[in-house]
Amino acid sequence: MEGLGPARWCKHLVGPHCFSVLRLKKLAALQLTASCSVAISTRFASRLCSSYIADVPRLSFIPIAEPRFVDEPIPTSADWLHEPKLDGFRLQIHAKGPRSRLYSREGHDFTDRYPSIAAAAARLVVTTAVIDGELVACDVNDQPDFYALLLNKPHQGLCVWCFDLLEVDGRDLKREPLWARKQALAEILPGRTLRYLEHFDDGLALLADAERRNMEGIVSKRRNARYLAGARCGWRKTKTAAWREANKDRHKYFER
């Protein structure tokens, strides 16, 4: 049996069974090598893909938080903050340089409808940002004029009063407390076209001031709340008596 290779020697000695065993072992070794290569390649591809995704801004419309009208006492504890309720259109701004987009409350693309706002978003000194705000047309006294906005005939141009920051530079802020999101928002807004909406501790005083100015009302929010879509956000809307009387027939504009 001299000169026989290992496989032929084994086959000659004990028959085809041993030869089959050797073939199976060889196939198993090849499969193990292939499996290791696939696992290594998969891990490498996963790391490469994760790195690529992290470096590319990916913005998409975020379902908005919806304040609900309540006929209840305004919260007075320190857990709450209060903002003016401005009479306009809800707008979600996706700032991304020249690719900035504007979305309505339902997620419709309004970028071409309000080019001056899109241009202001493009000038923000951020890589990316998603901002929640209210698009407003102001009259000669700098008061919101809803009908000028509705007819697209603003007296003093358009602006957005921005009150929340959902994402910035690739960071998701929706789980951060409201006060922290507003603080971050104030740091990135330039001023005239995209304006920061201040908040107040005394909701009763703010509502009384809104009443004197014939404004819509106020929105009360928990300071530490995260951003949640729909009524789950817990935002409370209180409207002034003067505004409700003046706008009791507004629904007719939307029935045509």
Active site amino acids: 85
Among the ranges given (16-20, 115-119, 198-202, 233-237), the one the predictor scored with the smallest mean pLDDT: 16-20
Q: Which two tokens stand for residue 7?
A: 């496989």
Is the pLDDT assigned to residue 149 strictly greater than 90? Answer: no
pLDDT top residue among 250 and 88: 88
pLDDT mean over 15-27: 43
Domain that holds residue 39: 6-55
- Both 127 and 36 in one domain: the answer is no
Q: Which helix (H) or strand (E) holds 85?
A: strand 80-85
- Both 92 and 147 in one domain: the answer is yes
- Both 219 and 185 in one domain: the answer is yes
From residue 74, how far is each of 132, 134, 212 by CA, in Å?
23, 22, 17
> Going by C-beta distance under 8 Å and a sequence separation of 6 or more, which residues neighbour residue 114?
91, 102, 135, 158
- Residue-wise pLDDT for 107-135, tens only, equals 999 999 999 999 999 999 999 999 999 99
> Going by C-beta distance under 8 Å and a sequence separation of 6 or more, which residues neighbour residue 146?
87, 88, 137, 247, 250
pLDDT top residue among 92 and 156: 92
pLDDT mean over 135-140: 82
pLDDT top residue among 34 and 100: 100
- Residue-wise pLDDT for 211-232, tens only, equals 998 889 999 999 999 999 998 8
CA atoms within 13 A on the CB side of 212: 6
Is the pLDDT assigned to residue 4 strictly greater than 60? Answer: no
**pLDDT, mean over the chain:** 80
- Both 216 and 189 in one domain: the answer is yes
- Both 109 and 181 in one domain: the answer is yes
Count the domains in the chain. Answer: 2
Kindly state whether residue 23 falls inside one of the protein's structural domains: yes
Query: Which pLDDT band, with edges at 50, 70 and 90, does 164 fall under?
Result: very high
For residue 134, the domain's CATH number is 3.30.470.30
**Residue 184 pLDDT:** 97
> Where would I find the H helices in 56-126?
115-122
- Residue-wise pLDDT for 49-101, tens only, equals 333 334 445 578 999 999 998 888 999 999 999 999 998 999 999 999 999 99
- Both 151 and 217 in one domain: the answer is yes
Tell me the three state secondary structure of residue 173. coil
How many other β-carbons are positioned within 10 Å of the β-carbon of residue 246?
12
Is the pLDDT assigned to residue 13 strictly greater than 60? Answer: no
> Going by C-beta distance under 8 Å and a sequence separation of 6 or more, which residues neighbour residue 68?
231, 235, 236, 237
**Residue 43 pLDDT:** 47
- Residue-wise pLDDT for 171-214, tens only, equals 999 999 999 999 999 999 987 899 999 999 999 999 999 999 88
- Both 92 and 170 in one domain: the answer is yes
- Both 78 and 51 in one domain: the answer is no
**Residue 72 pLDDT:** 85
- Residue-wise pLDDT for 35-54, tens only, equals 444 443 444 444 433 333 34
**Residue 33 pLDDT:** 47
**Residue 58 pLDDT:** 56
Is the pLDDT assigned to residue 14 strictly greater than 60? Answer: no
